[in-house]
Structure 1
Amino acid sequence: MGAEPEHDAVTFGGSAVALADIVAVARRAAPVRLDASVGPRLAAARAVVDRALGRNDAVYGLTTGLGAAVDTRLDAEQIAAFQTRAIRARAVGVGECMAPDEVRAMLAARLAGLCQAASGISPTLVDAVAALLNKGVTPRVRRIGSLGEADLSPLAQAFLPLIGEGEAERDGAVVSGADALATAGLAPATLGPKDALALLNSNAQSIGLAALALVDLRAVLEAAILAGALSLEGYRANLSPLDPDLGRLRGLEGHAAGLRALRAALDGSALFGPGVALRVQDPISFRTLAPVFGCALRACEAAEAVATAELNGVGDSPVVLPERDAMLSSVNFDTTELALALEAAGLALSHLAAISAARVTKLMSPGASGLPRFLTRHGGSHSGFATTQKTASALEAEIRHLAHPLGALTIPVADGVEDYAPMTPAIVDKLHATVRRFARLVAIELVVAAQAVDLREPAALGHGAALAYDFVRAAVGPLGDDRPMGREYEALALRILDGELPRRLDPEVAEA
């Protein structure tokens, strides 16, 4: 990652920050800027902190210890040293390190929260966080350690380099935090009262990584509806379940949304003509594509709404209220709603994966599709797509397993003070793992459905289905003689995750 990104800047602290903005900073090195209103608002909030400190008010994390140590009052001479110790003591993460884009997403999410000017942080530290992103200093953060009631451990690891400690990656090399700052032309930050808590007491890991997962989920869902449409084409499916009057009679918004998307993808298809369908009624995995997809789309939209609200909200405790000259302990760091929304999205995705895998196997069965077994013209001397069924089945099983809910914290921590947590970071990781597996399954369905279309008598494809077919054939040729297909599925899945297939759609199809 270079120090001078060549992308439009993302402004924090003005209008609402979108999930796509976090992705732009995390994956495309978009520079960050602070809105002109941020500085004065930060100064006003900091003045509240200074006045409370001058009065020696009992304020959590300012004049008291943290967690179970809330009953400990800090002497004036202890407050400065307490800041650095608080960060060091919470850098307890274990496991694999997060990918650079994940760490950058976390930093960007925390920057968005700090720019709400409710943490009371020293204004210079907000500039310092922005500088880490703009100068390509990416802290090394181990993934496991947060329970989802403030992501203390990952944020502590992320901000060790800010004070010249820990490790960071810059220009592809892992170096000490101090060296990373030096090579970027930055100096270690000096922490004032409450600054450690302001940096750490947020859900930036959960929110930042959720942004990445949900943007990927949206791209895969858009590809999934086109893969399903192409399967309907290859199967010569009966499209009567897509009649809009049936959707109106049902009255469910998810069903209606799925119908709109699928009808748009199949617009212009010969299957809408009389007598074209292979049979009067198809297997349920073909018939239910619209409502199941619609449920997944609605679950994705609900999770996006919660994640966006979290990104633009205040998760601090205590919260600084300048207009009241007050600092109030809060529970704004609770992420239960986000956790449950993400669980619902993963569960909906597992249903979509189940019918996708079923369609893949049905397309290969002569008794179901009327096509050659395993979609090969060469008969039993060739395997065709036979063993692809195993990969599809393995993916569906893993997706189904990942959809099982994780549940809430069961072992209280912090001497029993922290006796509930929604486990949101683990749920985010679980959803993202599900999305990545589903992208592979969608890639398989696209390739199998394209082969089925090739084996059919020529007929007009729907607009979206035709674009999906061309997308496949630009990268994966028809299967004649047996060849290793795994690498082709994988390459196609990565293109799906990158959003390449949805970008090929006309706007009216993509937005349907």
Structure 2
Amino acid sequence: MSALVLTGTGVGVGDVAAVARDGRKVEIGPDVIGRLEKARRVLDQAAASGQQIYGLNTGLGANLGTAVEGDAGAFQRQLLEGRSGAVGEGLPVDAVRASMAARAAMLSVGGSGLSSSVFVALLDALNAGVHPVMPSLGSIGAGDLVLMTALARMLTGEGEADYQGRRIPAAKALMMARLAPISLAPKDGLSLINASAVSAGSGALAVTDALTALAQQQHAGALTMEGFGANRTILDPRLHMARPAAGQQEAAKVLHNLLVRDDAPAPTTLQDPLSIRCMSSVHGALIEAIGQARQAVEIELNAAADNPLVLGDDELVLSTGNFHTAALALAFETLGLAIAQCAAASAARFIQLTGSGRNGLPKYLSPVGGASAGFVPLQKTVTSILAAIRHKANPVMLDFLAVSEGVEDHATQTPLAVAKCAGMIALWRWLIAFELMAAAQAVDLRDGFTLAPRTAALHAVIRALVPMLKEDRPLGIDAEALYAALAGGNWPA
């Protein structure tokens, strides 16, 4: 895998995911160091001229009016110590790596005034696999600085790090990786932490996972259409051209391609339930929401979101609100609602498949009938999972209080919006697993039925993991096997 070369532009969600999960190395583009050093000179000149610069020669937040004098490096260390207030369970290593990669991408734009040696140290730690232990609770989305202090402190040799699967003192981890702790010049500490890198990094992972889960949901939906004997004329492209709603044509085309064959079976119904008939509309809305979330994340990854911001070409240092991520939070609230809608349709299809028997399918998809429970008890499990998804779909971006004596009287709750969206994706994958199981069983119960080539391949993958239900057995175990394949990257593209 080739390295990700930071140039200050062009970093995508897939790049961050590859760094976070696949160990992709990160390198510095040819112009980045010069850009950083130019911004550093502008920052130092502005400070020498007597300009008030937030976080360099002034306090932070409610201490904005307090002048900072004396050892500037000591103040940066004090700044980090005073904002190390995050608590709770540590973020997973992939989320920490995504946050590090996101901050590096943002810094490469050159608006922070960060010392180039500190930027290099950040990339060295990332490439060496030295990761801060980063508690998960503490950001309200007005920048992720309380969370990001763990990264800055680790680079100075303070706090704890995760290295080679062990949680050890940061100084020891740096030494084992043959890296040296950094020293902080004026504003370096603030430059490391005052950005929404946790939100953007975790958002990149969530978008990547949403894209994968969407493809898996399309697989499950197509196999349900096979097992249910659905009317495939709903995928006629002329229908979707007549109402070109967001993503609908794309979703319909994918489903059509999964089901294409030389001799399509005659439909068994005139109109199917809405969870089947309107599948392209539901999936299309999700495609649109994923695209919006992706765009919002990639804007952050390639933006100078610092406060204050150094405009190197104009030789200015100005205060900003660029760290505030209202659009990013809104994109993930929207994505969460779109996921919930898609998950609800999946659950509805499962109940259609496993109910009293439709389109020639036996009751509860049981081949033995009588008192056999078949798949029907799983309707409770599916409903339970859907309830958990619906709970997470409730918006959080308006839940904030004024803090820092009212100086910080608005927030976005972006990290929470992203985190609950990621949780919804994990729950949604369970519903996809259940739908795949039920659809495969329905197909097996149709005598003499021939699948399309691509749905036949999907059916074979399912049957390699779980056998057909021939008599009642614990189906939760089967669902776990399918979920592991869906979530673990072992599902065919």
Normalised to the residue count of structure 2, the TM-score between the two structures is 0.97
Counterparts of 1:386 and 1:465 in 2: how far apart (Å)? 24
Q: 2:20 aligns with which of 26, 40, 45?
A: 26
The aligned residue for residue 221 of structure 1 is 214
The aligned residue for residue 58 of structure 2 is 64
Q: Aligned-pair distance for 1:241?
A: 2.1
Q: Aligned-pair distance for 1:257?
A: 2.4
**Any stretches of 5+ residues in structure 1 without a counterpart?**
1-6, 504-512
Distance 1:382 1:409, change over 3 A: closer
Are residues 1:403 and 2:393 paired?
yes
Q: Aligned-pair distance for 1:29?
A: 1.3
- Indicate conservation of the 8 Å contact 1:178/1:188, yes or no: yes
Residues 404-457 of structure 1, C-alpha deviations (whole Å, 9 max, x = no match):
111324310111000001100000000000000001110110111011001013
- Indicate conservation of the 8 Å contact 1:409/1:420, yes or no: no
Q: Aligned-pair distance for 1:14?
A: 5.4
The aligned residue for residue 164 of structure 1 is 157
Q: Aligned-pair distance for 1:172?
A: 1.2
- Indicate conservation of the 8 Å contact 1:83/1:196, yes or no: yes
- Indicate conservation of the 8 Å contact 2:296/2:328, yes or no: yes
- Indicate conservation of the 8 Å contact 2:8/2:109, yes or no: no
Query: What amino acid does structure 1 have at the position aligned with 2:230?
Result: A
- Tell which deviates more after alignment, 362-371 or 341-350: 362-371
Q: Aligned-pair distance for 1:384?
A: 2.0
The aligned residue for residue 194 of structure 1 is 187
The aligned residue for residue 54 of structure 1 is 48
Counterparts of 1:15 and 1:311 in 2: how far apart (Å)? 8
RMSD: 1.5
Counterparts of 1:484 and 1:286 in 2: how far apart (Å)? 28
- Tell which deviates more after alignment, 494-503 or 112-121: 494-503
Q: 1:142 aligns with which of 135, 142, 146?
A: 135
The aligned residue for residue 476 of structure 2 is 486
Query: What amino acid does structure 2 have at the position aligned with 1:116?
Result: V
- Indicate conservation of the 8 Å contact 2:157/2:181, yes or no: yes
Are residues 1:81 and 2:74 paired?
yes
- Specify the SS of the correspondent of 1:310: helix
Residues 118-160 of structure 1, C-alpha deviations (whole Å, 9 max, x = no match):
1000100001101111111111111010011110111001221
Q: 1:289 aligns with which of 279, 286, 306?
A: 279
Q: 2:304 aligns with which of 314, 323, 326?
A: 314
- Indicate conservation of the 8 Å contact 2:353/2:442, yes or no: yes
Query: What amino acid does structure 1 have at the position aligned with 2:102?
Result: A
- Specify the SS of the correspondent of 1:320: strand
- Tell which deviates more after alignment, 334-343 or 485-494: 485-494
- Specify the SS of the correspondent of 1:169: strand
Counterparts of 1:429 and 1:286 in 2: how far apart (Å)? 30
The aligned residue for residue 201 of structure 2 is 208
Query: What amino acid does structure 2 have at the position aligned with 1:261?
Result: V
Q: How does 1:102-117 map to 2 (within 5 A)?
A: 102-117=95-110
- Tell which deviates more after alignment, 235-244 or 349-358: 235-244
**Any stretches of 5+ residues in structure 2 without a counterpart?**
none
Residues 207-241 of structure 1, C-alpha deviations (whole Å, 9 max, x = no match):
00011111011000001011001001100011222
- Specify the SS of the correspondent of 2:158: coil
- Specify the SS of the correspondent of 1:143: strand
The aligned residue for residue 458 of structure 2 is 468
- Indicate conservation of the 8 Å contact 2:344/2:386, yes or no: yes
The aligned residue for residue 444 of structure 1 is 434
Query: What amino acid does structure 1 have at the position aligned with 2:156?
Result: I
Q: Aligned-pair distance for 1:381?
A: 4.3
Counterparts of 1:242 and 1:488 in 2: how far apart (Å)? 31
- Specify the SS of the correspondent of 1:71: coil
Q: Aligned-pair distance for 1:41?
A: 0.8
The number of residue pairs the alignment matches comes to: 493
Counterparts of 1:120 and 1:45 in 2: how far apart (Å)? 5
Counterparts of 1:355 and 1:469 in 2: how far apart (Å)? 21
Counterparts of 1:380 and 1:17 in 2: how far apart (Å)? 58
Q: Aligned-pair distance for 1:499?
A: 4.2
Are residues 1:262 and 2:252 paired?
no
Q: Aligned-pair distance for 1:402?
A: 1.0
- Indicate conservation of the 8 Å contact 2:9/2:109, yes or no: no
Counterparts of 1:172 and 1:476 in 2: how far apart (Å)? 33
- Indicate conservation of the 8 Å contact 2:134/2:147, yes or no: yes
- Tell which deviates more after alignment, 153-162 or 489-498: 489-498
The aligned residue for residue 279 of structure 1 is 269
Query: What amino acid does structure 1 have at the position aligned with 2:191?
Result: A
Query: What amino acid does structure 2 have at the position aligned with 1:54?
Result: A
Query: What amino acid does structure 1 have at the position aligned with 2:347?
Result: A
Q: Aligned-pair distance for 1:472?
A: 1.2
- Specify the SS of the correspondent of 1:56: coil
Counterparts of 1:82 and 1:369 in 2: how far apart (Å)? 73
Are residues 1:13 and 2:3 paired?
no
Are residues 1:354 and 2:349 paired?
no
The aligned residue for residue 419 of structure 1 is 409
- Indicate conservation of the 8 Å contact 1:163/1:189, yes or no: yes
